[in-house]
Structure 1
Amino acid sequence: MTELSPELRSFVLTLPSIPFLEALLLLHGAPDQIWTAEAIAQRLYLRSIAHAEGIVRELAARGFCACTPDGQLMYRPHDGSAVLVSRLADVYAHRLIEITRLVHG
């Protein structure tokens, strides 16, 4: 099992919400797929596309994805965040409650 290193813990603490985290992991899990806010809303069971659109804007603003002018996006993390997101995906699968508490804290 992957450790929750201080670096990963710090990264998790910057994530604004669980839906944001899950959208990030969704994109990470399908890096070649092109996503829309509607598709993300459906996959994450979000109540509104507007909520998913906000998440998409935040993902793009934080440099986790590239957006097209029509609002579609692909996973394209900047700098060293790809390694952290990969570690997070491993840890989240085994330490869901711990990660959830960190995000909510």
Structure 2
Amino acid sequence: MKEISPDLRSFVLTLPSVPFLEALLLLHGAPGTIWTAEAIAQRLYLQSVARADAIVRELAARGFCACTADGLLIYRPADDALHALIAELAREYQQRLIEITQLVHAR
């Protein structure tokens, strides 16, 4: 099995938590869906909607998605390069879940 690309490794090391990573992949997997923090909390089994809301705000601040004034969220990366990196992450995460989550925890 080939190694994770250096660009992807660097990107994963910038992600603050596994729930953040999983929220990003959730949005990527349903690009036309409009999400609320409550829906993200439910899908990721987060006990706190406040935690999901913080993740939503950070996803928007980092340019991974667009967030409306009323807190609705849609997958909309800032540029094509970021979208390509997220798509690579989604593919690799299916094959390397443990390795990628360990990278997130290592930061």
TM-score by length of 2: 0.95
Runs of 4+ in 1 over 4 A off after TM superposition: none
Aligned AA (2:86): V
**1:94 counterpart = 2:103:** no
Amino acid at match of 1:99: I
Q: How does 1:8-47 map to 2 (within 5 A)?
A: 8-47=8-47
- Listed as ranges, the gaps of 5+ residues in structure 2 are none
Q: Distance in 1 between matches of 2:46 and 2:68?
A: 22
Identity %: 73
User: What's the secondary structure of 1:32's corresponding residue?
Assistant: coil
Name stretches of at least 5 consecutive residues in structure 1 with no aligned partner.
none
Q: Quote the Cα distance in structure 2 between the aligned partners of 1:98 and 1:3.
A: 10
- State the alpha-carbon separation in 2 of the partners of residues 63 and 4 from structure 1: 23
Q: Please tell me the root mean square deviation across aligned C-alpha atoms, in Å.
A: 1.1
After TM superposition, the score normalised by the length of structure 1 is 0.97
